[in-house]
Structure 1
Amino acid sequence: MKPLPQTRMSVDEYLAWSEDNPGRYELVQGEVYAVAAERARHARTRVAVFDALRSAVRSAGVACEAMPDGMTVRVDTRTTYEPDALVYCGPRIHPDAVEVKNPVIVVEVSLPSTRRTDASEKLTGYFQVPSIHHYLMVDPDRRTVVHHRRAGDGTETAFVQDGTLVLDPPGLELPVASLFEEP
């Protein structure tokens, strides 16, 4: 395994570096951080989230696409995140793209070790991206979704354990139970 770079990078420098350095990383304030290995519950929930988003996009018939983890979202010139799933709308991105420039929905599957970051730095960061209208924090241990949505000049937050999330834009209906692996 190659050591992480010791110099600060811009997003463009990071994206070039990541092409030659397989693995999961995020760039925060110019510093590269490796993303820790995940447990099976996290992986299964991440897959369930992607499947649910993809199904909701298809059911709604909107010109959007759900993407699994591994795609980069640029927050600013020195910060990128790789959400566990996302939805963007508009023309399909190029097959070789590693960055999604206009996500509408981003999802993080929270772990005990990431809850604080997901609820603070990432919450603030994601809503710096003008296209993002919904940020879902999915907690597989508590079977809870924290839904942050853009509302006027701020955000509104709801804690949801059942029912259906309405994500508008882009006009998706997402059954909460579909976001979790089967018990």
Structure 2
Amino acid sequence: MSAQPKAGMDVDAFLAWAEHQPGRYELVDGEVFAMAPQRVRYAETKFSVQLALRAGIREAGLACRMLPDGITVRVDAATCFEPDALVHCDERLGPDATQAPAPIVVVEVLSPSTGQIDTTPKLVEYFWVPSVMHSLIVDPVRRMVIHHRRGTEDLIETRLASTGRLELEPPGLTLTGAALFTESPLAES
């Protein structure tokens, strides 16, 4: 049985609470939200994204790390998210770290339960984090990537890709849209 979270939590209280709870949660404006169970299509796409990021980092020889879901990105004092993958290029995090303090790339894979949240409020809030230069929203059904990039004067530029190259500068990472998806499309679930 899990304890009910307090209303109006800050990120530090939330992380202490969440560490002892079954399941996964995110905190938005002090309110705790449980994350829905994953479908196979979502899980396989998320894993493909993680592998593609890791391979791209190695190929570019970057001093960065891909961190999978489960690592927290603090947006402000009352909001934190767990992206499906992220790229962190600052100093190496300790083995017991639960947060990436300065992610440069965040990735969300769309699912039926999170599509509206991932494409609007969460996208905006990720760019409140000064280190975030790229947000990739991966649509496993349409096999498409929406690449949002922080441009000059904090202007957010958007590009749609399905098979082309994604240039993530900084940190100097190149991916192909096709590498972000499983080898073959999955049947509708």
TM-score (norm 2): 0.94
Tell me which amino acid in the other structure corresponds to 2:150: R
* C-alpha displacement of 1:119: 1.1
SS of match in other structure, 1:87: strand
- Is the contact made by 1:52 and 1:174 (CA closer than 8 Å) also made in structure 2? yes
In the alignment, which residue of structure 1 is the partner of 2:97? Answer: 97
**Deviation sequence 1:61-88 (CA, Å, 0-9, x none):** 1110001100000000000000000001
User: Compared with structure 1, are the counterparts of its residues 69 and 114 closer, same or farther at alpha carbon in structure 2 (3 Å cutoff)?
Assistant: same
Letter in 2 for 1:33: F
Residue 41 of structure 2 contacts residue 140 of structure 2 at CA under 8 Å; is this kept in 1?
yes
Q: Secondary structure at the match of 2:22?
A: coil
Contact 1:8/1:30, CA 8 A, preserved across alignment: yes
Q: How many residues align?
A: 183
**1:91 Cα deviation from its structure 2 partner:** 1.5
Q: Which residue of 1 aligns with 2:79?
A: 79
Instruction: Find the aligned partners of 1:158 and 1:115 in 2 and give their Cα distance.
Output: 18
* Paired position in structure 1 for 2:147: 147
Distance of aligned partners of 1:4 and 1:157 in 2 relative to their CA distance in 1, 3 Å threshold: farther
Name the residue aligned to 2:170: 169
Stretches of structure 2 lacking an aligned partner (at least 5 in a row): 185-189
SS of the residue corresponding to residue 129 of structure 1 reads: coil
Structure 1: gaps spanning 5 or more residues? none
1:3 Cα deviation from its structure 2 partner? 4.9
Is 1:59 the counterpart of 2:59? The answer is yes
Q: Secondary structure at the match of 1:70?
A: coil
Q: Any conservation in 1 of the 2:2–2:22 contact (CA below 8 Å)?
A: no
**Superposition RMSD in Å:** 1.0
SS at match of 2:14: helix
What is residue 106 of structure 1 aligned with on the other side?
Answer: 106
Instruction: Please tell me whether the aligned partners of residues 4 and 32 of structure 1 are also in contact (alpha carbons under 8 angstroms).
Output: no
**1:125 corresponds to:** 125
**2:187 paired residue number:** none
CA distance in 2, matches of 1:121, 1:4: 25
Report how far residue 55 of structure 1 moved.
Answer: 0.3
Letter of the 1:171 partner, please give it.
G
Cα pair 2:83 2:106 within 8 Å, conserved: yes
Task: Give the SS at the match of 1:21.
Answer: coil
Work out the CA distance in 2 between the residues paired with 1:32 and 1:112.
19
Instruction: State the secondary structure of the residue aligned to 1:173.
Output: strand
CA distance in 1, matches of 2:152, 2:91: 26
Identity %: 52
Contact 1:4 1:33 in 2 (8 A): no
Distance 2:42 2:19 in 1: 25
Within 2, Cα distance between the matches of 1:123 and 1:25? 17
